[in-house]
Structure 1
Amino acid sequence: MKHIVLLAALALAASTGANAQQRIDRNQIINSLYQTEATVARLDPIALEAAAAAAAASGGDNAPGPLSDSLSAYPQLSIEINFDRGSARIRPESYHAVGLIADALHTPYLMGQRLVIVGHTDATGGRELNFNLSKQRAASIYDALTTTFNVPAAGLVAIGLGEEQLQDPANPDSGVNRRVQIINLGE
């Protein structure tokens, strides 16, 4: 299976500052999300979110498992979307990236696919607060895609995982952990 993960937060952030947006294009997004074969296992995004909610509520280390374990077979894209601190309001500089995602989702390659928008946070703040914030941020991306950019809502679902799936577990407060991930579940 073709599998490309594009992390759009690192290269430009290193060269121009942490709040800079990575320059990506529609074709990179399509290539990251395009599925050439049917995925055998079916992911239940609602069950994944419920496991993250339980882990956040318990305050323990019973996170739903590494994201790569359950989702590595799916085409996916991780992208930096800037939000106001402690808020689900998308910063204006991130609308270009959201627009590129929408443009890619309007292509024949991705139309009709089921996509999950996953919100992630760093470990700053309480786990339940982070879980709720990640849900709100994923919902903000969903709302922007479906209202501002007219992406069909039927093929999208938004979930939050809070700090339960850190990109960089060794640095839980790192900005690289604050991201939105889009996963293609196929048709």
Structure 2
Amino acid sequence: MFVRGFRYGLTLAFMLAAGAAGAQQLSDKQLIASLGQVTQVAPVVDVGLLIQEVNANVGQGVANLPNWSQLASLAQLAVEIDFENDSIAIEPASYRTIGLIADALHDPRLRHYKFLVVGHTNATGKAEHNLELSMKRANAIMAALTTTFSVPASHLIAIGVGQEMPLDATNPKAAANRRVQLINLGVAN
């Protein structure tokens, strides 16, 4: 169902090695400074296995599965991105935030890293639909970063997890569960 003019807030998160919790609203300088703190070598992440785990566990959750739980040790910082309801259309006001993220990814401290773009939804609707929508939203963020802001496509990988990793597990339909994450996978090849 599409409701014209209605926006849902999504969270775009970078995982900080320090394990910062919760969403933060940041300025461009804070974003670059925080992402510049990523100094540890990331573990080898098999994106194919991540996708297999999501597809095999639709409606059951994936956060505690081995390949997904290893991502929790990587770098985190959250900012808000708005999409139209049940859509991949990014609200125009969110392009400033995406631009700030692109600026950070172009910063000399980050330009050599690869990021996993992970789309999330809340539990409103069917799990299969949410999985597909989350993948499309991750691809929309990736497309905006690569086309509008010239972030190298080789530095981004998109994946959707639907409703499988809620931030607010006590309220699976909460708006906080609708988000997109960027996870620093380490140095790009």
Same fold per superposition (TM over 0.5): yes
Match of 1:12 in 2: none
Cα distance in 1 for residues equivalent to 2:35 and 2:64: 20
- Are the counterparts in 1 of residues 116 and 157 from structure 2 also a CA contact under 8 Å? yes
Cα distance in 2 for residues equivalent to 1:32 and 1:172: 29
Match of 2:44 in 1: 42
Cα distance in 1 for residues equivalent to 2:120 and 2:173: 12
- Are the counterparts in 2 of residues 119 and 181 from structure 1 also a CA contact under 8 Å? yes
Measured after TM superposition, the shift of residue 28 of structure 1 is 2.7
Give the aligned CA root-mean-square deviation in angstroms: 2.1
Match of 2:30 in 1: 28
Cα distance in 2 for residues equivalent to 1:167 and 1:146: 27
- Are the counterparts in 1 of residues 127 and 162 from structure 2 also a CA contact under 8 Å? yes
Q: How many residues align?
A: 169
1:186 and 2:186 matched: yes
Measured after TM superposition, the shift of residue 176 of structure 1 is 0.3
- Are the counterparts in 2 of residues 4 and 31 from structure 1 also a CA contact under 8 Å? no
**Taking structure 1 as reference, are residues 50 and 156 closer, same or farther at Cα in structure 2, changes over 3 Å only?**
same
The one-character-per-residue Cα deviations of 1:6-30 (angstroms, maximum 9, x if unpaired) are: 6446xxxxxxxxxxxx4x2223323
Measured after TM superposition, the shift of residue 104 of structure 1 is 0.4
- Are the counterparts in 2 of residues 6 and 79 from structure 1 also a CA contact under 8 Å? no
| Secondary structure class of the residue paired with 2:124 | coil
- Are the counterparts in 2 of residues 5 and 78 from structure 1 also a CA contact under 8 Å? no
- Are the counterparts in 1 of residues 19 and 73 from structure 2 also a CA contact under 8 Å? no
Moved over 6 A (4+): none
Measured after TM superposition, the shift of residue 46 of structure 1 is 3.1
1:3 corresponds to which of 15, 18, 21: 18
- Are the counterparts in 2 of residues 66 and 165 from structure 1 also a CA contact under 8 Å? no
For 1:44, the aligned partner's letter is D
**Taking structure 1 as reference, are residues 85 and 139 closer, same or farther at Cα in structure 2, changes over 3 Å only?**
same
| Structure 1: runs of 5+ lacking an equivalent | 10-21
Name whichever structure is richer in strand by fraction.
2
For 1:5, the aligned partner's letter is A
Tell me the percent identity.
44
1:107 and 2:107 matched: yes
Greater relative CO, 1 or 2 (CA 8 Å, sep 6+): 2
The more displaced of 76-85 and 64-73 is 64-73
